[in-house]
A and B are shown apart, each in its own frame.
Chain A
Amino acid sequence: MSPLWLRQIGAVLRLELKKTFFSKRGWWIYCLAIGPVVITLLHWLFELRRPGDHHHTLGEDSMIFAGLFLFFYLRATIFFGCMGIFSNLFRGEMLEKTLHYYFLTPMRRELLVAGKYLAGLAVALTLFVGSTAAAFLTLSRHFGPAWSDYLYHGPGLSQLGSYMLVAALGCVGYGAVFLMCGLLFRNPLIPAAVVFVWENLNPFLPDLLKKISIIFYLKSLCPVEVPVPPPFSVMVVESDPTPMWIAVPGLLAVAAILLIYSAISARQTEINYGE
Chain B
Amino acid sequence: MSETQITFANVSRFYGEVLGINNVNLSIPPGITSLVGPNGSGKTTLMNLMTGLIRPTQGDISVLGIQPSHPERLCRMVGYCAQFDAFPKGLTGHQFIYWFLRMHGMSHAECEEKTAAALERVSMTPAAERPVGAYSKGMRQRIKLAQAIAHDPQVLVLDEPLNGLDPMARAETIALFREWGEKGRYVIVSSHILHEVDQISDQVILLSQGYVVAEGQIQGVRSEVKEQPMQILVRCDNPGGLAARLFQDHHMVEAKISNDRKGLLLRTTDADSFYLLLNHVVLESGLEVESVAPADDDVNSVYQYLIGAEGGTV
Contacts and interface: CB of A to CB of B under 8 A. Distances in A.
Among B76, B99, B105, the one with the most A-chain Cβ atoms within 10 Å of its Cβ is: B105
Given A103-B71, A106-B71, A270-B54, A98 B87 contact: yes
A102 interface: yes
B91 interface: yes
Contact of A273 (B71, B84, B105): B84
Interface residues of B, number: 31
A271 B72 contact: no
Interface string B71-109: 111111010101010111111000100011011110100
B193 interface: no
A212 B15 CA distance: 37
Interface size class, chain A: 20 to 34
B131 interface: no
A150 B283 CA distance: 116
B94 to A, nearest CB: 13
Query: Chain A CB within 10 Å — which of B90, B95, B103, B104 has the most?
Result: B103
Interface string A1-31: 1001001100110110011000100000000
A103 B52 contact: yes
Interface in A63-96: 96
Residue from A14, A101, A273 with most neighbouring chain B CB atoms (10 Å): A101
A105 B100 contact: yes
Given A101-B100, A103-B71, A106-B75, A23 B54 contact: no
A186 interface: no
B55 A106 contact: no
B87 A15 contact: no
A97 interface: yes
A190 interface: no
A109 B99 contact: no
Q: Looking at chain B's contact residues, is the secondary structure mostly helix, strand, loop, or mixed?
A: loop
B285 to A, nearest CB: 61
B282 interface: no
Contacts of B102: 7, 11, 14-15
B112 to A, nearest CB: 14
A77 to B, nearest CB: 25
B51 interface: yes
B48 interface: yes
A106 B76 CA distance: 6
A4 B82 CA distance: 26
B65 to A, nearest CB: 15
B166 to A, nearest CB: 25
A208 interface: no
Contacts of B74: 106
Contacts of A102: 103
A254 to B, nearest CB: 28
B293 interface: no
Nearest to B77: A106
B31 to A, nearest CB: 23
Interface string A200-212: 0000000000000
Contacts of A270: 53-55
A100 B82 contact: yes
6 contacts: A8-B105, A15-B102, A96-B89, A97-B84, A101-B88, A103-B52
Given A106-B73, A107-B71, 4 more contacts: A15-B99, A98-B84, A100-B84, A108-B71
